[in-house]
Structure 1
Amino acid sequence: MKYNNYRNALSSLTAQKTDSTLPVVALLAGLAIGAVIGVLFAPQRGADIRTKIADKAKDLTDTAKDKLHLAKRKVLSEADQLAELKDEAIDKAKTKSKEALNAAEGIVDQLKSKAKGLESDAKATAEKVLNS
């Protein structure tokens, strides 16, 4: 008699729903029936099963925490390496800019000395022209 009640309940649920919901209703009914059968035929007591489930859940959370900490350490390590690379790049850029500035200053000094030499040559030539 109870079987007919379940059958009628399922029939009324599926009759009211569209064809796309029929598989969902059947899946949910199958899950409920499977859970009931699993509990009825379980080889261990419910308390033992719940303890095992709790232990497995704790193991899974511990594993997840460990992996999270490992990933966090790896990200922090990579961040430290990137910071070191950044500092090295900045130091190299500063060194190159100082070298370029020193080279430019050297060229400016050479040009100044050449300009002074040309100036003195021009004065000497001008005095010769004026004296002759």
Structure 2
Amino acid sequence: MDAQTGSTASAFPPGFPWGGAIAANHAEGAYLTDGKRLDISDGFPRGIKHEYDAVIDPKKCYPTHEAIDFYHRYPEDLALMREMNFRAFRTSINWSRIFPNGDDDEPNEVGLQFYDSLFDEMRSRGMEPVVTLSHYETPIHLVG
């Protein structure tokens, strides 16, 4: 308790990296855009627990396919985060966006450019990137 104000609230220490987080497979969307191939998260239909579709059924909804379209809208999303004074932002790198099959000899340059642009945009808005290398995004080619 603060003796002067009577408050029991605590403040974050100076330099605390206030921020937010997403996982690429939950937010990016653009599931087959710019060279990205299917990953394991792309086969889980919405609302159906413990079901996995090895072949995408066009009659079902798969949340990762569109998500919040962070892939195309990240500048707008980061602007909103900056308004909330975020100083850090955690995201994952979607493995199948960088190495579409998982065992490719060369990375997908368009995927690398996306993450370079994302991290540059974060830094330009005063946010430090915090990166997770994988968040359930194993390319389907490696497990199928």
Task: Please say whether Structure 1 and Structure 2 have the same fold, judged by a TM-score greater than 0.5.
Answer: no
TM-score band, normalised by shorter chain: under 0.3
More strand by share: 2
More helix by share: 1
- Structure-2-length-normalised TM-score: 0.18
Larger-gyration structure (1/2) = 1
